[in-house]
Amino acid sequence: MITIKGYVVSKTLVNDPTGGRMIAIQIVEERETPGPVITGADESSQMMRDVMPLVQQLLRSMPMVGPLMSGKVPIPRLLIWLNEDEAEALGPKLDVGDAVEIRIDNGKLELVKI
């Protein structure tokens, strides 16, 4: 079984070509971004290894730059298009920001609000 934890980042209502309404729900997973890799054995490389965590912490504390330096990156995992009836049958209403779990087992996909 494959389990993916994520959250809803967008829920969009769109008119389809037949005049009906479709709802697009996009789910992403947050992953940690790797830190900078500093190679070398000389004194300046060691100083950079010591200073980089301080620079990253300073940038994260700045209001305009902080969200961009959060250390996490959203990875798109699922985009599902449903008509209004299918969205009603989905079960619990999903809204932007809701945490979800995507479970895949033997060709069956299950979407669970957590």
Per-residue confidence in pLDDT tens, the chain, 114 aa: 999 999 999 999 999 888 899 999 999 999 887 667 777 888 888 888 888 888 877 877 877 766 666 677 889 999 999 998 998 898 778 999 999 999 999 999 999 999
- CA-to-CA dists, residue 52 to 36, 67, 70, angstroms: 8, 18, 15
Res 108: pLDDT: 95
3-state secondary structure of 98: coil
Tell me what pLDDT residue 48 has: 85
Domain boundaries in the chain?
Answer: 2-37+72-113
DSSP 22-61: EEEEEEEEEEEPPPPP---SSHHHHHHHHHHHHHHHHHHH
The topology under which CATH files domain 2-37+72-113 is OB fold (Dihydrolipoamide Acetyltransferase, E2P) (2.40.50)
Whole-angstrom Cα distance, residue 91 to residue 93? 6
Taking the alpha carbons at both ends of the chain, their separation in whole angstroms is 18
Q: Full-prediction pTM beyond 0.85?
A: no
